[in-house]
Amino acid sequence: MGLRKELDQKDPLAIGQELHRFVGELYPICRSITGNGVRQTLAFIQNKIPLQTFEVPTGTAVFDWTVPKEWNIRDAYIKGPAGKKVVDFQECNLHVLNYSTPVRATMPLSALRPHLFTIPEKPDWIPYRTSYYKEDWGFCLSHNQMLTLEDGDYEVVIDSTLEDGHLTYGEYFLPGRSSDEILISCHACHPSLANDNLSGLAVATFLAQLLSGRDLRYSYRFLFIPGTIGAITWLARNRDTTGRIRHGLVLTCIGDRGRFHYKKSRQGNAEIDRVVDHLLRQHCESPKILEFSPYGYDERQYCSPGFNLAVGCLMRSVWGTFPEYHTSADNLNFIQPMQLAESLSLCAAIFEVLEENRRYRNLSPYCEPQLGRRNLYASTGGGAIEAQINARLWVLNLSDGEHSLLDIAERSGHPFSLIHEAAQTLRESGLLAIVSENTGETTRLEEESQEKTGDSSSDHSCGSSSRS
């Protein structure tokens, strides 16, 4: 589909700055797992892609869980003995323990203290804390700020509501020729934290923009959901759809300066795992592949044993391992335009490989075909063979209907792009036919347009009828 090539022709800094600007728009919103912060966030995304939003009522049973009460907050502060605001939600929404119950009280510092959270090791940063499933209230502040608090009575106000309402999430479905789907999921529940996960939201939104309007092999489903409960809610409401998900990526923390990390799916050797591994090794500096583990982001839900979907998690720095994680230091300066652009480009490359990773059949499988008379071979004898010709020989040799282009790239050590280009060239020369995934039959290039029509008409109806 040439997605990455198109992207690579643009100025990456300009793209990165657009991504960063979008993050900047979303940054001030106070998000949580429910409430208006999520709705506002989805509205911003709807300015870019025709996202569909869903509202699921409090109390709805979703597998072992229940959709919680909806939380909203208007204001919160602590006034000191001198009547001055010493902690102010308006200055930074991390100041409030996320999901705090409403409070209006005056109390001595000693009574307030158990409700205050700081990071003594990073005395200037405000921590991010939540209490979703145990009703509580509290304030987060910098340690230095706390040290200035004097004894006396404090006025504590949290103007929040925690009431029956809805859980909100957004979904964007892009139909492809096949009803087989690629899932892209990112959590949209953190307040002013840039890398975790506005970086993911921004890259996913731009990816959706890039893909829309294209002729796609796969259907794509983008989810913008609250972490954990959102993924569980979506899975509970779309249990039948999950059977169509062939590959998936959770996108998170992909805007910082760290090297790429990819956490493999529970399956461990799924196509998505191999594709990301291949691209990271070919194109990125010292990437790190992590084995699956059942703790992390929403891959936990997608990879639960009942679903066991081929969903991995793409990150730069890994949650919990960088000091800025879940603090006010995960701000707009922590993420970088060039890194955001590179993450977008990598995702585009991943989809490109998934789209193009087909099996082919060498139509001249007995001995090598004579590439020379087709101008596909260096005509002067001896000397070193070029990578391009070598790639053609590999494609011809392994295209027995069993090996995919990714298999060939892995075995030959050539980049997928070179192998794919070789396959296209050989196909245009009539030496290769594509193998149908369903029937195992081969289709030559000249028969292809015909196939496409028939194929997509039935697939599309199937792909689009899946919405609830």
Residue 338 burial class via C-beta count within 10 angstroms: exposed 0-12, middle 13-18, buried 19 and up? middle
Q: Residue 121 in contact with residue 105, Cβ under 8 Å?
A: no
CB of 147 to its own copies, least distance (A): 22
Strand, helix or coil for residue 452: helix
User: Residue 104 or 134: which CB sits closer to its own copies?
Assistant: 134
Name the percent of the chain in helix, strand, coil, to the closest 5: 35, 25, 40
CB of 205 to its own copies, least distance (A): 25
User: Residue 148 or 293: which CB sits closer to its own copies?
Assistant: 293
User: Residue 6 or 400: which CB sits closer to its own copies?
Assistant: 400
CB of 103 to its own copies, least distance (A): 18
Q: Return the H-helix or E-strand segment holding 455.
A: helix 448-464
User: Residue 44 or 65: which CB sits closer to its own copies?
Assistant: 65
DSSP secondary-structure letter at 375?
T
Q: Residue 317 in contact with residue 326, Cβ under 8 Å?
A: no
CB of 370 to its own copies, least distance (A): 5
CB of 64 to its own copies, least distance (A): 4
DSSP character string of 159-196 = EEEEES-EEEEEEEEE--SSS-EEEEEEE---SS-III
Query: Interface with its own copies by CB under 8 A: which residues?
Result: 62-65, 127-134, 228, 231-232, 235-236, 239, 266, 293-295, 300-301, 303-308, 320, 326, 362, 364-370, 372-373, 379-385, 390, 393-394, 396-400, 412
Strand, helix or coil for residue 436: coil
User: Residue 100 or 343: which CB sits closer to its own copies?
Assistant: 100
Q: In this structure, how many other beta carbons lie within 10 angstroms of the beta carbon of residue 397?
A: 15
Q: Residue 158 in contact with residue 76, Cβ under 8 Å?
A: yes
CB of 12 to its own copies, least distance (A): 33
User: Residue 223 or 235: which CB sits closer to its own copies?
Assistant: 235
Strand, helix or coil for residue 433: strand
User: Residue 217 or 300: which CB sits closer to its own copies?
Assistant: 300
Q: Residue 383 in contact with residue 356, Cβ under 8 Å?
A: no
CB of 419 to its own copies, least distance (A): 12
Q: Residue 167 in contact with residue 56, Cβ under 8 Å?
A: yes
Q: Residue 329 in contact with residue 122, Cβ under 8 Å?
A: yes
